[in-house]
C-alpha cells in the first residue's frame, strides 16, 4: 500500500474506489505509514466519499488511535478540526458515532478530549452512547460526557 500511495499517478485527492481517496483507504485499513506520507503531501483531510464520510470516519471505525491522533495533529487550525469532528456521513454519523459503534475506547477518549460532541444525533436520532454496547466502558464514558451537554439534532 505504501508503494501505491507513493506512486499513485493521479491527484492525491482523486477518488479511486466508491468515492474513496487513497487517504480514505489507508485510514480504513490502518496503514499508518501511508497516512503519514499522504498527509505530509497535503492530502485533503475533508475529502468525502460517496457516503459523505471523511478519512477520520474511517480511522475511527477501525479503531486506529494512532491515525486519529495524526489526523487531529495535522488539522492545524481549530476551525478545520471542529468541522472534521462534526462532519456527518449519509447516515448522520460523526466520527465519534463510528468509534462508539466499534467499541474503540482509546479513540472515543481521544475524540472527546479533542472536542467531539457526545450528543449529536444521527439520522436515526441516536447519540454515540446509544451505539455502544450496554454495560461497557465506552458506553459509560459517553453517557457521562452526554450528561453535561445539550442534544444537537441533525
The C-alpha cell that represents 77 in the structure block: 487550525
pLDDT at 76: 82
Superfamily per CATH, domain 2-147: Ankyrin repeat-containing domain (1.25.40.20)
Among candidates 90, 146, 143, which has minimal Cα distance to 120?
146
pLDDT at 154: 47
List the chain residues with pLDDT less than 70. Answer: 1-10, 150-154
The C-alpha cell that represents 124 in the structure block: 436515526
Q: Rounded to whole angstroms, how far apart are CA atoms 55 and 13?
A: 11
pLDDT at 18: 85
Contact between residue 70 and residue 31 where contact means Cβ atoms under 8 Å apart: no
Chain-wide mean pLDDT for the chain?
92
The C-alpha cell that represents 150 in the structure block: 445539550
Amino acid at each position: 500500500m505504501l508503494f501505491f500511495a507513493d506512486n499513485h499517478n493521479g491527484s492525491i485527492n482523486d477518488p479511486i474506489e466508491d468515492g474513496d481517496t487513497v487517504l480514505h483507504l489507508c485510514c480504513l485499513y490502518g496503514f499508518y505509514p501511508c497516512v503519514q506520507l499522504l498527509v505530509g503531501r497535503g492530502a485533503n483531510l475533508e475529502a468525502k466519499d460517496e457516503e459523505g464520510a471523511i478519512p477520520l470516519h474511517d480511522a475511527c471505525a477501525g479503531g486506529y488511535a494512532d491515525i486519529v491522533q495524526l489526523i487531529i495533529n495535522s488539522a492545524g487550525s481549530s476551525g478545520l478540526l471542529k468541522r472534521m469532528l462534526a462532519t456527518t456521513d449519509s447516515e448522520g454519523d460523526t466520527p465519534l458515532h463510528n468509534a462508539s459503534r466499534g467499541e474503540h475506547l482509546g479513540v472515543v477518549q481521544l475524540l472527546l478530549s479533542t472536542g467531539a460532541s457526545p450528543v449529536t444525533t444521527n439520522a436515526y436520532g441516536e447519540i454515540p452512547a446509544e451505539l455502544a454496547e450496554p454495560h461497557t466502558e465506552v458506553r459509560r464514558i459517553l453517557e457521562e460526557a452526554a450528561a453535561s451537554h445539550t442534544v444537537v439534532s441533525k
